[in-house]
Amino acid sequence: MSRWLPRIYLMLVYALLYVPILVLIIYSFNDSRTGYRWGGWSLRWYQALFDNHAMVQAMWNSLWLALAAATVSTVIGGLTALALHRYQFRGKQALRGMLFVVMMSPEIVLAISLLAMFLVVGLQLGFVSLLLAHVTFCLPFVVITVMARLSGLDERLLEAARDLGAGEFTTVRTILVPVMMPALLAGWLLAFTLSLDDVVVSTFVSGPSYEILPLRIYSMVRVGLKPEVNALGSLLLVFSLAMLVLSQFILMRNKR
């Protein structure tokens, strides 16, 4: 009895976490227009989604933004992790502190500070402001993913490289980057997903010239229930799940 009680409790909470997601996915195939009564299986809402020109445009915009944000934050995040792991420099603690604050801050605080910055320097709100903002909130997550990998590095490899006369850049390119690669890929996938899903920061720093998917969904779900949102939401959920599975696969396969 006392062995089963915790297990039943675990299953119950997992069910609570997953039932809404399953309901959404099942309802996305519902043929009924009203959205809540079951009218048989259908793909009509997926069809409606791809027939909607503005929606498809927003999807492309979001994908481009996520690709760019993930790539830039992986490069900068990877280099930051490298610097924190390998170099001694003044203000190292402050740098760690800033990354920690970005990670812990409520998104809305980050969003406001970035908008204030863009207003002061007079940056037009659009793709560039979104990119700068997304890279900034993705950065700490890439850094901790890569740092975790570097902490398991065999230092003798680096000594050997130095003894063989390798310069700093050669050492990084031939030893550190290959070691970091699985974590860089996992970090890239995480950043891509975070960028694709962000609502709070994007609400503040986007402009009318560049409409992205989460904000389009936001304007749709504020009033009532819309069957197209079921389809779009299901697509996004399945896509994110695929990214998560892929990243876990990469990290686990390269564990040792």
Among positions 46-65, residues that touch another protein (CB under 8 A) are none
Per CB under 8 A, the list member of 16, 40, 152, 178 interacting with another protein is 16
By CB under 8 A, residue 249 contacts another protein: no
Confirm or reject binding of residue 251 to another protein (CB under 8 A): no
Count of positions on this chain that bind another protein (CB under 8 A): 78
Binder of another protein out of 65, 193, 210, 228 (CB under 8 A):
193
DSSP SS3 for 103: helix
Residues of span 21-40 touching another protein by CB under 8 A: 21, 23-24, 27, 34, 36-37
Which of 145, 243, 236 shows the shortest CA–CA distance to 198?
Answer: 236
Establish if 4 lies at the interface with another protein (CB under 8 A). Answer: no
The interface region with another protein, picked from 50-58, 145-153, 176-184, 193-201 by CB under 8 A, is 193-201
Nearer to another protein, 34 or 151 (CB): 34
Near another protein in 77-116, by CB under 8 A: 79-80, 82-83, 87, 89, 91, 95, 98-99, 101-102, 104-109, 112-116
The interface region with another protein, picked from 42-50, 63-71, 132-140, 174-182 by CB under 8 A, is: 132-140
**Which pair of structure tokens corresponds to residue 213?**
């998917």
Q: How far is the CB of 176 from another protein (least distance, A)?
A: 11
Residue 148 binds another protein (CB under 8 A):
no
188 binds another protein (CB under 8 A): no
Scanning the chain, the segments in alpha helix (DSSP H) are 4-27, 44-51, 53-86, 92-104, 107-121, 127-150, 155-163, 168-171, 177-197, 200-205, 213-221, 227-253
Q: Does 124 bind another protein (CB under 8 A)?
A: no
Q: Measure Cα distances from 12 to 25, 54, 171, 241 in Å.
A: 20, 40, 51, 21
Least spacing, CB of residue 111 vs another protein, in Å: 9
Among 66, 70, 184, 214, binds another protein (CB under 8 A): 214
Residue from 17, 19, 7, 46 nearest 235 by CA: 46
Collapse the DSSP code of 49 into the 3-class scheme (helix H, G, I; strand E, B; otherwise coil) and give the result.
helix
- Among the listed ranges 50-58, 63-71, 166-174, 179-187, the one in contact with another protein (CB under 8 A) is 166-174
CA distances from 122 to 119, 133, 202, 247 (A): 5, 15, 18, 38
Q: Of 61 and 193, which has the nearer Cβ to another protein?
A: 193
Angle between helix 53-86 and 213-221 (nearest 10): 120
Q: Which residues are paired to 30 by β-bridges? A: 41
Write down the residue that tokens 């609570």 correspond to. 16
